[in-house]
Amino acid sequence: MSNAVLSAKNGVDILLGLQWGDEGKGKIVDVLTRKYDVVARFQGGPNAGHTLEFNGIKHVLHTIPSGIFHANALNIIGNGVVVDPVIFCKEIDKLIALEPHCLSRLEISRKAHLILPTHRLLDAASEAAKGKNKIGSTLKGIGPTYMDKTGRNGLRIGDIELPDFMERYQALKDKHMHLLGSYEPPFDLADAEMEWMRSIDRLRKMVLADTDISIQEAYKSGKRILAEGAQGTLLDVDFGTYPFVTSSTTTAAGACTGLGVAPNRIGEVYGIFKAYCTRVGSGPFPTELDNDLGQEIRDKGHEYGSTTGRPRRTGWLDLPALRYAVEVNGVTQLMMMKADVLSGLKNLEVCTAYMYRGEKITHLPYSLEADLLDPCYTTMPGWDEDLTGIHDVTKIPAALEAYTKFIEQETGVPVVLISVGPDREQTLWRA
């Protein structure tokens, strides 16, 4: 791993996605963790699926930070995360088989909010009511849980330690049942509640902590901290393709509010992007390839959701969107994923501008809806070589180097890493 790149100064570095999620964040957090003492998830919940591959093992994490496979790192689930205790306990069970001591290096914020079974019902009811305008939610209860958080109704992890927890649970459930009215639940609520309560009992025995304070103390004692984002910038509730977004702040600012870190303590911001684009769920996607080529990229890149198994929509790299993401997050280092998937394409199209209401623009407009906006492409030569066995960045094809330099020139930020396969080892450092 390059030392020039990862000087890991005293501070909190952030790693986040610059597109519509699934950029490969899990893989890179795992690769970077040996340089860090603390890895902390700052938002999202079990809508996320972060995949790690090493030593022939493939593992998908939903709530647990992707640094968990490294014995020396403390992993923190921050206050900005929403936790479904059932999914979380299932994750722990799978993990313990591989990492028997993982619980000793995991802290869960008391301020993180709980996803109730009725939050999942509300999510399903809301999507059903939207009909053809549905968001394509993962239906994990994310939106309703964040709504209860900002509406000041939510239940937090710390509440499970209080004597009146059951009354609080019942009061929130009653509120939800009132909202649901005659909605027919798609799963058995009584069964789901029983499993949920059993998982709450297990959670009580885990390390519940004031993680904002743990992180502040780690910072003051010179520990190196990595904040792990979920989803991607274009799914951010403020800056994404609203309303087709998730319900949290997926951008760099979310690391401050989701962990209790002051902005002046942020160091590097690693921005992860795919060499092309994908999106799962509904919403505008200007460079989408809704054709055979799109299917070819989906097949080669195994573009099927890590959480829901849904096929991901695929398309060309979108530079106006990438530039916007770089600015919103203050990205200092770019990391390009899945370059290997593009091998064998004669030419690559890169979107450099849009025609928007009859005018050529190079920024991201208010609306990305297809009837208002047409992408303008620059054609670049592709490469034939299989990249997956390359271990030395100087051996990459000239066309890939040119593609990478073009992205650097267009964004003004160095691309420090090119990923050429899902495994930890298939990682090429350029700096």
Using CB under 6 A as the criterion, which residues of the chain lie in contact with ligand IMO when the complex forms?
A: 17, 20-22, 44, 47-50, 135-138, 140, 142-143, 230-232, 235, 246, 280-281, 306
User: Catalytic: 386?
Assistant: no
Nearer to ligand IMO, 138 or 249 (CB): 138
Report d(CA 91, CA 71) in Å as an integer. Answer: 18
Under 8 Å between Cβ of 318 and 375? yes
Answer yes or no whether residue 17 interacts with ligand GDP by CB under 6 A: yes
Answer yes or no whether residue 260 interacts with ligand GDP by CB under 6 A: no
266 interface partner picked from ligand GDP, ligand IMO, Mg ion, none, CB below 5 to 8 A per type: none
Answer yes or no whether residue 84 interacts with ligand GDP by CB under 6 A: no
Least separation in angstroms between residue 133's CB and ligand GDP is 25
Residue of 50, 70, 119, 176 with catalytic role: 50
The residues, ordered by sequence, that sit 6+ positions from 24 with a Cβ below 8 Å of its Cβ are: 51, 272, 274, 337, 338, 419
Least separation in angstroms between residue 232's CB and ligand GDP is 8
User: Among residues 416, 340, 344, 427, which one has the least CA distance to residue 392?
Assistant: 427
Nearer to Mg ion, 63 or 306 (CB): 306
32 interface partner picked from ligand GDP, ligand IMO, Mg ion, none, CB below 5 to 8 A per type: none
Q: How far is CA 149 from CA 69, 111, 248, 284, in A?
A: 31, 10, 11, 28
Our separate counts of H helices and E strands in the chain read 11, 20
Task: For residue 19, list its beta bridge partners.
Answer: none
Answer yes or no whether residue 421 interacts with ligand GDP by CB under 6 A: yes
243-264 CB burial, b ≥16 within 10 A, e <16: ebbbbbbbbbbbbbebbbbeee
Task: For residue 83, list its beta bridge partners.
Answer: 114
Least separation in angstroms between residue 49's CB and ligand GDP is 5
Task: For residue 113, list its beta bridge partners.
Answer: 82, 156
138 interface partner picked from ligand IMO, Mg ion, ligand GDP, none, CB below 5 to 8 A per type: ligand IMO
Nearer to Mg ion, 26 or 320 (CB): 26
340 interface partner picked from Mg ion, ligand IMO, ligand GDP, none, CB below 5 to 8 A per type: ligand GDP
Nearer to ligand GDP, 32 or 420 (CB): 420
User: Catalytic: 201?
Assistant: no
Tokens, residue 25: 């964040």
Vertex 78: Cα angle to 73 and 81 (nearest 5): 130
Task: For residue 429, list its beta bridge partners.
Answer: 417
3-state SS assignment for residue 131: helix
Task: Give the residues lining the site for ligand GDP (CB under 6 A).
Answer: 17, 21-27, 48-51, 53, 301-302, 306, 337-338, 340-341, 419-422
| Catalytic residue annotation | 22, 50
